[in-house]
Structure 1
Amino acid sequence: MTTGAFPLTWLYAPGDRPEVVAKALASGADVVVVDLEDAVAAHRKEYARAATADLLSEPPPRPVHVRVNSLDSPESAADLRALAPLRALAGLRLPKVSSPTQVVRTAELAPGIPLYALLESALAIEHAYAIATAHPSLHGIALGEADLRADLGVAGTDGLDWARGRVVCAARAAGLPAPAQSVHPDVRDLTGLAESCAHGRALGFLGRAAIHPRQLPVIERAYLPTAREIEAAEEIVRAAATGTGALALPDGRFVDAAVVAGARRTLALARRIARPAQAQVSV
């Protein structure tokens, strides 16, 4: 496992099914997200919370984030009381964030734990930059597209492209990593997943959340650089090492510091290609 600064795959698993969480931990995902919110029925919330706390009583084999319940619910307060003391917790994913105040309040209740805000409403999109800069504990933002689509009354996916670009821009303006894409809900549609990932990559996303292990290799392939991209990046970095300031490559392309930084990021991502392929684990 090599997550480094560029995790590409975030696999969700329901918190009330420890056997599924165990399979997710063995799947090869960069991050496992234990879900206490939508994936867990109301009468199973307490059990899911206890099972997750038990899981994190010792360091897991890969980073584990937990998506807590809606921040305005009593369940969320109980989640934070149970999870905040657990040092093995790598991050909290906060659903339906619509204001920076919610981030600040959560950071006070769970000091020192990295927070990731999910923006799932029109109001959240309008407040994207304020949320992204709300507190130093916030390490990332992302979209929750199912709820956002319902809030906007959007049919299909193209109608969300403005919101997607807004979130990418807000994250980068705040100095946060490029967001990961929201989940592709049809686990059988791997062709559609690959096409959607290519579109997301073109919009500036980096990586994607998944709901089944079979989606992981598709996501990783889509977001890893191609051989041609790696070759071009290597040429740029070599040229930059021999000169100062802006320079021109033999083919006439103009290269400045921003292009060199992008090439270095491409090569950092390319180092993942040598690692074993994502494991295929059924759930």
Structure 2
Amino acid sequence: MSGPARQPTRAWLITPALTAERFEKAKAAGADVALADLEDSVAPPHKAAARTTAERFLRTKGSGGPVLGLRVNSPVTADGVRDLAAITAYTHQPHLVLVPKVESARDIEIVAGVLDTSEHTPVIYALIETPRAIDRLPAIVTAGRLGGLLFGAADYAALTGCARTWEALLYARSAVANSAGTASVPAIDSPYFDVQDLDGLQQEAERARALGFQGKGAVHPRQVPVITRAFTPSDDEVAAAQAVAAASRETQAAVTTIGGQMVGPPLVAAARAVLDQAASAPPASRS
């Protein structure tokens, strides 16, 4: 079975699994990841119908396009068990599965144990959205099949009673980014829920990238270009990274200087990461 068209970072667009009329628009919005949601956006009486409709979301037309996946219900709930059982019978399997309310490595292992086959192993992301999950992050990231972390600001704020502002959520965001770094997996930031405030979205996306996140959730197609630009290295960033990489190659020394600034192995590694990001991004997405 062929793999995803691109790495699951930058813009993640989430659409309710029941709204089949929006599926093609969601997949054509330019996001790197498009998810059909079986969890929060689907009321309990409609979960069974959503499981049937969600398989249609996973059908592709031609090559290219976003990584397609599903947000399932928690695997330790009855609806989550039903979701996983239904997915095993799908003709088209999700490339990516987002697991909500993760509070242990076992949650990831359960999903992998059900969905992994000799022909297909989905990328599995843990949605970190509870205070207990933040406390247990060092154990969660030991899951062997963990593909990455996604921070869920709305649930975390509701459970702690904190404001849904950057300052109030900075500790939790930092914990997610740090734990993702220890496990060498990507961290994706929470969606920005005011779909009209694109300036606010851009500011929050830039802050998240500076903190170490590699992408951000979107709840509307209009948010996708803003997020994509924020998480794509600019031409200036690429030029600076090329200069660092070139200086490292030319001097073949552990430490060198560029424009009076000392450049050592950590800065060289960071520069190469910027160049890798730029190489995987369409030129039109850079500014």
- Quote the residue 2:181 is aligned against: 172
- Quote the residue 1:32 is aligned against: 34
Secondary structure of 2:80's counterpart equals: helix
CA distance in 2, matches of 1:146, 1:268: 32
8 Å CA contact 1:53–1:82 kept in 2: the answer is no
CA distance in 1, matches of 2:146, 2:224: 25
Unaligned regions of 5+ residues in structure 1, if any?
279-283
CA distance in 2, matches of 1:70, 1:250: 50
8 Å CA contact 1:37–1:68 kept in 2: the answer is yes
Sequence identity of aligned pairs in percent?
35
Deviation at 1:180, TM superposition (A): 1.1
184, 191, 204: which one aligns with 1:196: 204
* Partner amino acid, structure 2, of 1:173: T
- Quote the residue 2:247 is aligned against: 239
Give RMSD over aligned pairs: 2.1
Cα deviation digits, residues 35-54 of structure 1 (max 9, x gap): 00111122221111011123
CA distance in 2, matches of 1:83, 1:30: 22
Secondary structure of 1:224's counterpart equals: coil
Length, aligned pairs only = 275
- Quote the residue 2:52 is aligned against: 50
Cα deviation digits, residues 42-76 of structure 1 (max 9, x gap): 22211110111234356774311100012232111
- Quote the residue 2:151 is aligned against: 143
Unaligned regions of 5+ residues in structure 2, if any?
none
- Quote the residue 1:10 is aligned against: 12
* Partner amino acid, structure 2, of 1:78: R
Larger mean CA deviation between 247-256 and 69-78 belongs to 247-256
Q: How does 1:1-283 map to 2 (within 5 A)?
A: 4-5=6-7, 7-56=9-58, 61-86=65-90, 88-111=93-116, 112-134=121-143, 136-157=144-165, 158-177=167-186, 179-271=187-279, 274-276=282-284
Deviation at 1:269, TM superposition (A): 2.3
**TM-score if structure 1 supplies the norm length?**
0.90
CA distance in 2, matches of 1:129, 1:114: 20
8 Å CA contact 1:245–1:257 kept in 2: the answer is no
- Quote the residue 1:281 is aligned against: none
Secondary structure of 1:209's counterpart equals: strand
Deviation at 1:172, TM superposition (A): 1.0
Deviation at 1:105, TM superposition (A): 1.9
CA distance in 2, matches of 1:235, 1:10: 31
* Partner amino acid, structure 1, of 2:274: T
* Partner amino acid, structure 1, of 2:94: L
Secondary structure of 2:14's counterpart equals: strand
8 Å CA contact 2:58–2:69 kept in 1: the answer is no
Deviation at 1:271, TM superposition (A): 3.3
8 Å CA contact 1:117–1:138 kept in 2: the answer is yes
CA distance in 2, matches of 1:89, 1:44: 21
Cα distance change on mapping 1:277 and 1:233 into 2, 3 Å: closer
8 Å CA contact 1:33–1:64 kept in 2: the answer is yes
Secondary structure of 1:180's counterpart equals: strand
